[in-house]
Amino acid sequence: MAQAQMTETGSDDGNGDGRQGTRIRRLWDHLRTDRGIWRRGIVLAVLAVLLGLLMALHESVPNRIGNLGSLLETFLPWLGVPAVLLLVLALVRRSATALIALLVPLVVWVNLFGGLLSDKTAAAGEADLTVATHNVNASNADPSGTAREIAVAGADVLALQELKASAVPTYERLLEPTYKYHAVVGTVGLWSKFPMSGVRTVDIRLGWKRAMRATVTTPDGPLAVYVAHLPSVRVKLRAGFTARERDRSADALGAAIAHEKQSRVVLLADANGTMNDRALTAVTSQMRSTQGAVGSGFGFSWPASFPMARIDQIMVKGVKPVSSWTLPKTGSDHLPIAARLQLAGE
């Protein structure tokens, strides 16, 4: 009887394998004979390919009309969202054509931004210096609270932008216990635990002071530190992405950094633009972003309530970045960002 039971069980297993094989054959026959699965979703497939081409050829989108190229590049990572929507629609439509076409934007997006999804800080090495930068917002209703929060962030060198003249004494008073040295030039300032020299204004073609340069004498030698707040950009219905002032200032800042005599340079800036934005090429072509090199994620810094773009930047030249991250929200509309750097041996 046991033998009969075993034989029956074995027979069921065999029939189970057979039924599974039958299901696969039926599915294959359905895919092969159901013309609708290939005909449906042609429009979705076309949209998917166009989306992939837009991402891949973003540098070809002209800036002549409303700076559309720069606008696209500012929010380029978010083109992954319509790709997901197209995927959902393709599944609802049960369109094999659309699903295959979606490989185009998927591959392009991963090629552009896949590296930002991994944490690259683990094997970066030890840091010699921690730097931070923050646009504190001239309309900040709580400069005292903002000053206290950034004072405990652990940075050795701290840059602030959009300093309102009436709020400067508050920042100076509350940051003094942490930072022995500081300098304010116009609406930007630099605080340091190490001696500073060579403080001067950097002309970024605005007519008022929104950029500065100083030499910070670290235990590992001198470091040129630039602090900048490039002009804001606006998205207007008729004018598009108005950024001409920002673009001119970026060119001027890039020229100043190119003529820097120190071999090790750090830029702490509200650049009002991302590393993908071609308008910042004068700067980005000679420096690298700490977030792109050793960050984890996109590190979006603006707006603080729902960050959508990394327009605050820490860039380096002749310095090895070790890690990069965003700091907790303050009373500003920007998030502070920080990075650890390795100076020795570079």
Q: Select from 66, 94, 116 the last residue of a domain.
A: 116
Tens digit of each residue's pLDDT, the chain (346 residues)? 444 444 444 444 556 666 777 776 765 666 566 667 878 899 999 999 999 999 999 999 998 877 888 889 999 999 999 999 999 999 998 898 999 999 999 999 999 999 888 777 655 468 899 999 999 999 999 999 999 999 999 999 999 999 999 999 999 999 999 999 999 999 999 999 999 999 999 999 988 999 999 999 999 999 999 999 999 887 655 544 567 889 999 999 999 999 999 999 999 999 999 999 999 999 999 999 999 888 888 999 999 999 999 999 999 999 999 999 999 999 999 999 999 999 975 5
Same domain, 181 and 201: yes
Same domain, 92 and 158: no
The residue range of the domain holding 83 is 34-116
Residue 3 in domain? no
- Answer yes or no: are the C-beta atoms of 135 and 229 closer than 8 Å: yes
* pLDDT for res 110: 95
pTM: 0.85
Same domain, 276 and 305: yes
Q: Select from 116, 146, 171 the last residue of a domain.
A: 116
> Structurally, how many domains does the chain consist of?
2
Same domain, 152 and 279: yes
Q: Select from 54, 81, 116 the last residue of a domain.
A: 116
Residue 73 in domain? yes
Same domain, 110 and 125: no
Residue 11 in domain? no
Same domain, 46 and 142: no
Same domain, 187 and 297: yes
Same domain, 214 and 72: no
Same domain, 209 and 225: yes
Same domain, 129 and 79: no
Same domain, 191 and 319: yes
